[in-house]
Amino acid sequence: MSKSEATAGVPSILLKSGHTIPQLGFGVWQIEPSDTARVVSEALSVGYRHIDTAPVYGNEPGVGQAVAASGLDREDVFITTKLWNDQQSDDNPKTALYRSLEALSVEYVDLYLIHWPMPKVGTYLNAWEKLIELRDMGLTRSIGVSNHLPSHLDRLAVETGVVPDVDQIELHPAHQQQDVQAWASAHGMRVESWGPLGQGKYPLLQSEPVRAAAEAHGTSSAQVVIRWHLQNGLILFPKSSRRERMIENLHVFEFELSADEMAAIDAMDRPDGSGRVGSDPLVFNDGVVPDS
């Protein structure tokens, strides 16, 4: 596979770290560990060059096997992994990243994220200080957080002077988290959308504004929602184990949503949080005991 075939028109976004990230990638949550090497090989073969994983998904080894087997240069595949919640305290983030590098069979990752803030446990600031060290050691090129709200982001920035390169949050038309997006714009941070299609739980793909745009452009509803993220400058990595959907989700560069179509989808937001399909970052895993 050549590099040009690879990128399939996917734009690159420049992060504060000075490194670039393909705006559209492939997520592997809930892909069975035993099936991950096959699925990720398929994703790489249809053109994805950005893979989002985490140790808690149990499938880092499969991601690493697929990248190694692809014959692609390591530099040409962007790999994100994350620090799980029970590893935030003391020097544990360092041990955890070494374990992830071993599982992935790579010498560095492109992006390392704190998976959840667990504000009541109170260890995310320590974790952030350790991620800064890990970046300075060259074990990860960029660093960021996930599921962090403006109050958490403020604390990290004020205490360390280092703003995360990205915050990966649940984001789709029904749950846009405009407060995090505004914080990102004000601080030069980029936002990544997890659950970009609403995880199939929220009836996004059947909604009227999405269906109308899909009909107008002769595309699928999923392609419309992916375009909406891209045109909003968001980074995303929808997941599918099916080859035809992998291809469909990547081929979204031949059409553009109009301002009216974007506005109609924007209007689906539920700022009261009722569109959320995942966990609430203010309380998720607050029972986790550090060092357990």
Residues with catalytic roles: 57
Q: Verify binding: residue 62, ligand NAD, rule CB under 6 A.
A: no
- Choose, by CB under 6 A, the member of 38, 155, 217, 245 that binds ligand NAD: 245
Residues 71-110 as x/- pattern, contact with ligand NAD by CB under 6 A: ----------------------------------------
Q: Verify binding: residue 29, ligand NAD, rule CB under 6 A.
A: yes
Nearest to 231 by CA among 211, 207, 261, 271: 261
Q: Verify binding: residue 249, ligand NAD, rule CB under 6 A.
A: yes
Site for ligand NAD in 198-227 (CB under 6 A): 198-200, 205, 220, 222
- Choose, by CB under 6 A, the member of 23, 147, 177, 181 that binds ligand NAD: 147
- Rg over alpha carbons for the chain, rounded to the nearest Å, is 18
Q: By the 8 A CB rule, do 233 and 176 touch?
A: no
Q: Verify binding: residue 50, ligand NAD, rule CB under 6 A.
A: no
Q: Residue 111: CB partners within 8 Å, gap ≥ 6?
A: 21, 78, 79, 80, 81, 140, 141, 142, 143, 144, 165, 166
Stretch that binds ligand NAD, among 6-14, 38-46, 182-190, 192-200 (CB under 6 A): 192-200
Q: What minimum distance in Å lies between the beta carbon of 242 and ligand NAD?
A: 8
- Which residues pair with residue 266 across a beta bridge? none
Q: Verify binding: residue 237, ligand NAD, rule CB under 6 A.
A: yes
**Which of 2, 206 has the CB closer to ligand NAD?**
206
Stretch that binds ligand NAD, among 23-31, 67-75, 95-103, 119-127 (CB under 6 A): 23-31
Q: Verify binding: residue 146, ligand NAD, rule CB under 6 A.
A: yes
Cα separation, 225 vs 163, in Å, equals 29
Q: Which residue is nearest to ligand NAD (CB)?
A: 27
Are β-strands 12-14 and 20-22 bridged in parallel, bridged antiparallel, or unpaired?
A: antiparallel
CA distance readout (Å), 42 to 28, 37, 59, 79, 235: 12, 9, 15, 16, 21
# chain residues binding ligand NAD, by CB under 6 A: 26
Residue ranges in 137-237 assigned as alpha helix (H): 150-160, 178-187, 208-217, 221-231
**Which of 8, 205 has the CB closer to ligand NAD?**
205
Stretch that binds ligand NAD, among 25-33, 93-101, 227-235, 251-259 (CB under 6 A): 25-33
Question: What DSSP state is assigned to residue 139?
Answer: S
Exposed e or buried b for every residue in 13-45, given b needs 16+ CB within 10 A?
bebbbeeebbbbbbbbeebeeeebbebbebbbe
**Which of 136, 179 has the CB closer to ligand NAD?**
179
Q: By the 8 A CB rule, do 254 and 212 touch?
A: no
Stretch that binds ligand NAD, among 26-34, 84-92, 120-128, 154-162 (CB under 6 A): 26-34
Q: Verify binding: residue 128, ligand NAD, rule CB under 6 A.
A: no
The residue count for the chain: 292
Tell me the three state secondary structure of residue 29: coil
What phi-psi label fits residue 105: left (phi over 0), alpha (psi between -120 and 50 degrees) or beta?
A: left
Contacts with ligand NAD, residue ranges (CB under 6 A): 27-29, 52, 115, 146-147, 168, 194-200, 205, 220, 222, 237-240, 245, 248-249, 278
